[in-house]
């Protein structure tokens, strides 16, 4: 039964039975499951002791056979729901979290992670992303691919350029102009995302 639940990527309804310091015990499909607090976004005004009896959507994370319990996540359900709403061509706002040799890691709204691959920064060759962007920079990017397996949103800023190399000359002007846009037509999402997969080199 546990293996069947783990194999199927299905959303289940769970009812909070009790709460503790590290998480809550939730009944799912008549089985007890552990929901860590890190996998449940709680409003600051929400008191944990008032959660008992609450019903919420969860997805299974793992079967902890050593402790003989299932581990579930409400956060995973929330993220997947938001990811499914993102379509290629949509414009999203974010903040550069870090710069890697292969591109920039972007923090998007509501816990989503974005990747701006170095090949997607500008239509002109970019040797080092640090020459164009820096951590803390607020950006606007075009969604070119959503990876449901790891929750990564692949982005492009070169699609916002009116002329090749505009991002290199001054990214602020590109982002300011993009604020007036809602979406960009992505003719071939697969082609646009080429080279945008997470790489370490």
Q: What is the pLDDT along the chain (201 residues), one digit of tens a residue?
A: 556 655 667 888 999 999 998 999 999 888 889 998 888 766 555 667 788 999 988 988 887 666 667 888 887 887 787 877 888 899 999 999 999 999 999 998 767 889 999 999 999 999 999 999 999 999 999 999 987 666 779 999 999 999 999 999 999 999 999 988 877 776 554 455 544 443 333
> Which pLDDT score is estimated for 184?
76
Question: CB-based contacts of 135: which residues, under 8 Å, 6+ apart?
Answer: 96, 97, 98, 99
- What phi and psi, each to the nearest 5 degrees, are found at residue 54? -75, 140
Query: Which residues of the chain are in CATH 2.40.50.140 domains?
Result: 2-81, 86-188
> Which pLDDT score is estimated for 200?
35
- Within 118-191, strands assigned E span 138-147, 152-156
Q: Which CATH architecture has domain 86-188?
A: Beta Barrel (2.40)
2-81, what's its fold? OB fold (Dihydrolipoamide Acetyltransferase, E2P) (2.40.50)
Tokens of 41: 């976004």
């Amino acid at each position: 039964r546990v293996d069947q639940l783990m194999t199927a990527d299905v959303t289940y309804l769970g009812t909070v039975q009790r709460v503790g310091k590290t998480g809550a015990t939730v009944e799912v499909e008549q089985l007890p499951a552990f929901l860590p607090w890190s996998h449940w976004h709680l409003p600051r005004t929400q008191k944990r002791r008032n959660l008992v009896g609450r019903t919420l959507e969860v997805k299974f994370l793992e079967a902890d056979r050593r402790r003989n319990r299932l581990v579930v996540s409400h956060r995973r359900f929330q993220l997947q729901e938001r990811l499914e709403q993102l379509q290629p061509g949509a414009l999203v706002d974010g903040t550069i979290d870090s710069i890697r040799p292969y591109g920039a890691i972007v923090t998007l709204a509501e816990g989503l992670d974005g990747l701006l691959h170095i090949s997607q920064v500008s239509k002109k060759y970019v040797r080092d992303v640090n020459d164009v962007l820096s951590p803390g920079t607020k950006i606007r990017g075009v969604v070119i691919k959503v990876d449901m397996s790891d929750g990564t949103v692949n982005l492009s800023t070169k699609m916002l350029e009116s002329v090749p190399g505009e991002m290199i000359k001054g990214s602020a002007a590109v982002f300011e102009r993009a604020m007036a846009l809602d979406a960009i037509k992505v003719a071939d999402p697969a082609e646009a995302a080429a080279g945008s997969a997470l790489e370490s080199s």
